[in-house]
Amino acid sequence: MAISYFPFNSLAEYEQAIDFYEQSLAIFREIEDQKGVAISLGNLGNVYLSLAEYERAIDFHQQSLAIKKEIGDRQGVAISLNDLGSAYGSLAEYERVIDFYEQSLDINREIGARQGVANSLNNLGAAYRRLAEYERAIDFHQQSLDINRKIGARQGEANSLGSLGLAYYSLAEYERAIDFHQQSLDINRKIGARQGEAISLANLGLAYSSLAEYERAIDFYEQSLAIFREIGVRQGDAISLANLGTALANSGNFTEAEPYFYDSINIYEKIRTKLGLNNDDWKVSIFETQTHPYLSLQQVLIAQNKPQQALLISERGRAQALVNLLLNKQSLIPQPPNLQEIQNIAQQQNATLVEYSVIYDSELYIWVIPPDGEIQFRTVNLPQDISLQELVKVSREQIGIRGRGNNNATPQTHDATNHLQQLHQLLIAPIADLLPENQEERIIFIPHEELFLVPFAALQDKNKAYLIEKHTILTAPSIQSLSLTRQHRERVKNLSGEALVVGNPTMPQLKKLSPLDGAETEAKQIAQMLDTEPLLGAEATETAIVQKMPNAKVIHLATHGLLDDISGVGSPGAIVLADSDSDDGFLTSREIMEKFGQASATPLQAELVVLSACDTGRGEIKGEGVVGLSRSLIAAGVPSLVVSLWKVPDDATQELMVEFYTNLYEGKLDKAQALRQAMLTMINGGENPDPLDWAAFTVIGEAE
């Protein structure tokens, strides 16, 4: 993993620096020197940034920025904007980062601050590189380098050279990258910039590692690690440890590599704990930059025939922000599960757990844990002619997807290969002998990365039998999350409450969305079964629904669902409701998290939430898992969810949902069995036997 060139504190002794800046801050406040106060706050922010205490760093930089704006210090404002960009860059919030850097660049150009212009250009380049816009990044870095050379800014020149090295490394031009990093290293050594020297050494190691010159790479990483430890830069320490572990593993030294990955993971986990209780978004985004040691350590452990330890690392590397949020609500110190706890969860769920881990798109690791707790492991080589991501995509396209309220089917692919069979061959066939023979026994799939988009129910064996015909299926974000949804279940099972059923709300003006006649019929039928009155049309406003949610025992929302931020509301995933004077009609995943999911919020008491709408089980797929509506509702205390993996057809969804509730309340089946039987009814005798019509929905969490 590369180390970027962001502005950093040049003092090696950070604790001493904090003391020095705190003293100067106190003096400047005493003599009412606002500019001095702002500079001291900014300096403290930079020190805490180097110590990877991002929340504190941002707080100091925001205070500094506010004062500089107040006193009209334009150059100071530009510096603070750059510093804030660097802090948010460490949290991988790159869109926000670009905004800060562009504001800073504009001000620096207006006031003619050439060094500031060079810094802003270099930082913008780094942000675009993280977004894989490499040509654009190179252009910014080159402009920055030209200015730094003209004004004789040696530190700036070293930073720009190093940034160019990273950009060319990203383009796999390793020799060119080495040349830039070597030039950067020479300057950093000449001017005594220790952190710059460590970064150059680390990035040289990366380039040589990519050329398979592992001994040379290890030497650079060891030098880099020694400096980062000496000066206390924790992020650099973690990256160098992981890179060193990778170089050792690539050399075949698996035993030697293992502790480096563990040390890197431990540092990253400490960094995340310092982000505080209510910074869930930051914990999710920063984890995107920290997945490398989790995946590589699994490889190293499997190479040493340690599959159970690899399972523990797989668990540590998924849904941790969600797990931490739920444990913090109980005032418990988050701890990753041990093997005994994982076995207990399988027994408690009375289910066979199947956890997948996608390793750099080359291998698939699969662990199977039946209720008796005996952990089995299988590994699968992934096809090289098609990526797993592409395979999942074409399998969904082959199903042919149309939207709820849109009767025009997407043309099905003419590809002759049965991709549902292909996925079955990769995901199910290698473990088929380990799965329960009794169709009523539950399997809980714990997907990884793009596997969250797989319709497990519709996977077909070589005889074209669907998986749902053989097994009762649920999904979960992680094994550890199942212990928490079980706690949700225990908390809500004896609580009273009414059913909240919503169908076909009047669509908000913001989006041109068609009415859903099937959703209205569905809501009326289900409300009758649940002995309640449905909220329909203009009555189903966002405000009315949110007010009723805390007291509802069952929540059923039959409407449009919006994926990602196509609604322009700034949140991945939204349920469309009627708007009113006090709301926009879009109940987003972020709003659910803020109202019911945060550590300080009162959780919902619903035992079941059904989002009978398009794409409600989707969202942004990150290292954390799926960040969207389902995650927000688990955080909000809901033990069982039914959500969809694509744009579901209106009439077919009505049929499926009525069958589901009939099975649940009249047939007295558990939620997973109720959904399975509804799917089987549609396959074997309903009007909609196509997987497009029944396979989108999945139960997340608790079956009972």
Query: What would the pLDDT profile of 269-313 be if each residue is shown by its tens digit?
Result: 888 888 876 777 777 778 778 889 999 999 999 999 999 999 999
Residues 6+ apart with CB under 8 A from 172: 210
CA dihedral 597, 603, 609, 615 (to 10 degrees): -10
Give the DSSP H or E segment for 527: helix 517-529
pLDDT at 404: 35
- The distance from CA 454 to its chain's CA centroid, rounded to whole angstroms, is 17
pLDDT above 90 coverage of the chain, percent:
63
Looking at residues 602-623, what average pLDDT do you find? 78
pLDDT digit string, tens, across residues 26-58: 999 999 999 999 999 999 999 888 888 898 999
Burial 313-331 (b: 16+ CB within 10 A, else e): bbbbbbbbbbbbbbbbbee
Residue 7: per-residue pLDDT: 39
The Cβ of residue 185 has, within 10 Å, a number of other Cβ atoms equal to 24
Q: What is the pLDDT of residue 688?
A: 64
Whether 9 shows a pLDDT value over 50: the answer reads no
Task: Mark out the alpha helices in 51-93 (DSSP H runs).
Answer: 54-71, 74-90
- Distance, CA of 637 to chain centre: 20
676 phi, psi to nearest 5 deg: -60, -50
pLDDT tens digits along 340-358: 999 999 999 999 999 999 9
Instruction: Check pLDDT > 70 for residue 590.
Output: yes
With beta carbons less than 8 A apart as the criterion, state whether 656 and 518 touch: no
Distance CA 207, CA 209 (A): 5
Confidence of residue 8 (pLDDT cuts 50, 70, 90): very low
Q: What is the three-class DSSP state of 537?
A: strand
In total, the chain counts a number of residues equal to 704
What is the pLDDT averaged over residues 462-482? 94
If DSSP codes are grouped into helix, strand and coil, which group holds residue 642?
A: strand
Instruction: Give the residues across from 466 on adjacent strands.
Output: 460
Predicted confidence band at 483 (pLDDT cuts at 50, 70, 90)? very high
- Looking up tokens 């499997």, which residue turns up? 302
Closest CA to 100 of 78, 67, 69: 78
Of 222-231, 319-328, 486-495, 520-529, the poorest mean pLDDT is in 319-328
Domains within the chain, CATH numbers bracketed: 14-229 (1.25.40.10), 497-667 (3.40.50)
When computed from its CA atoms, the radius of gyration of the chain, rounded to whole angstroms, is: 27
What confidence tens digit (pLDDT) does each residue in 409-452 have? Answer: 444 445 567 888 999 999 999 999 999 999 999 999 999 988 98
User: Strands 608-612 and 552-558, how do they pair?
Assistant: parallel
pLDDT at 231: 84
The pTM assigned to this predicted structure is 0.89
- DSSP-derived 3-state class of residue 648: coil
What digits encode the pLDDT tens for the residues 150-172?
999 999 999 999 999 999 999 99
pLDDT digits (tens, 9 = 90+) for 631-665: 889 889 999 999 888 777 778 888 899 999 999 99
Query: Which has the minimum average pLDDT: 68-77, 304-313, 392-401, 491-500?
Result: 392-401
Indicate whether 1 pLDDT > 60: no
- Strand, coil or helix: 196: helix
DSSP assigned state of 201: H
**Which pLDDT value is given to residue 616?**
62
The pLDDT of residue 415? 55
**What local confidence, expressed as pLDDT, does residue 565 receive?**
55
Give backbone dihedrals phi and psi of 369, rounded to 5 degrees, phi first: -125, 100
* Residue 148, pLDDT score: 97
Average pLDDT, the chain: 88
Identify which of 34, 115, 52 has the alpha carbon closest to the alpha carbon of residue 82.
115
- Provide the pLDDT for residue 264: 96
Token pair, residue 187, equals 């300057």
Task: Name every residue whose Cβ is closer than 8 Å to that of residue 371 and which is 6 or more positions away in sequence.
Answer: 346, 347, 349, 350, 351, 352
Residue 516 binned pLDDT confidence (cut-offs 50, 70, 90)? confident
Output the six-digit token pair for 94: 């790159």
Partners of residue 579 on adjacent β-strands:
none
| Residue 627 near residue 658, CB atoms below 8 Å | no
Annotate 115-132 with b (16+ C-beta within 10 A) or e (fewer): ebbbbbbbbbbbbbbbee
With a CB cutoff of 8 Å and minimum separation 6, the contacts of 225 are 237, 240, 241, 244
Residue of 619, 81, 589, 4 whose CA lies nearest to 289: 4
- pLDDT of 611 strictly over 90: no
454-476 burial, b at 16+ Cβ within 10 Å, e below that, comes to bbbbbbbbeeeebbbebbbbbbb
Which H/E stretch holds residue 445?
A: strand 442-446
Are the CB atoms for 241 and 258 separated by under 8 Å? no
Rounded to whole angstroms, the Cα distance separating 196 from 630 reads 43
For residue 207, give Cα distances in angstroms to 2, 115, 157, 491, 622: 9, 29, 20, 53, 26
